[in-house]
Amino acid sequence: AQSVTQLGSHVSVSEGALVLLRCNYSSSVPPYLFWYVQYPNQGLQLLLKYTSAATLVKGINGFEAEFKKSETSFHLTKPSAHMSDAAEYFCAVSVLGYSTLTFGKGTMLLVSP
């Protein structure tokens, strides 16, 4: 079975600072990996996904993530935080041919002026 671990339930950054949200996965077969963002009282919106093509994946709103098999990681980064990035971020994993996603517990990103 697959699983994901998100390190840190809350991450605080200043506006303009680097954003780094950590995700490690466990999977016995090559995984598909996803990052989702959730704003208050909204559903989850797909930021980006890795599906075994390029290991550096670019998503919406300036976010990107790098798949590192040796570290079983898929950390989310953004060079410069904006106030509008404040939200909860979820990492998720699925395996090829089986569509159910397994989500991490989420990381709340707080951005201060």
Partner 1 sequence: ETGVTQTPRHLVMGMTNKKSLKCEQHLGHNAMYWYKQSAKKPLELMFVYSLEERVENNSVPSRFSPECPNSSHLFLHLHTLQPEDSALYLCASSPRGGDGYTFGSGTRLTVV
Give the binding site for partner 1 (CB under 8 A). Answer: 32, 34, 36, 41-46, 49, 51, 90, 94-101, 103-106
Min dist CB 28 to partner 1, Å, is: 14
Please say which residue, 28 or 100, places its beta carbon nearer to partner 1.
Answer: 100
Q: Count H helices, E strands: the chain?
A: 0, 11
Q: Which residues does 47 contact at the CB level (< 8 Å), separation at least 6?
A: 34, 35, 36, 37, 59, 60, 61, 63, 76, 89
Nearest to 45 by CA among 61, 30, 21: 61
DSSP 8-state secondary structure symbol assigned to residue 18: P
Min dist CB 13 to partner 1, Å, is: 22
Min dist CB 17 to partner 1, Å, is: 26
Please say which residue, 25 or 36, places its beta carbon nearer to partner 1.
Answer: 36
Please say which residue, 18 or 96, places its beta carbon nearer to partner 1.
Answer: 96
Computed on alpha carbons and rounded to an integer, the radius of gyration of the chain in Å comes to 13
Min dist CB 79 to partner 1, Å, is: 24
Strand 10-14 versus strand 107-112 pairing type: parallel
Please say which residue, 104 or 111, places its beta carbon nearer to partner 1.
Answer: 104
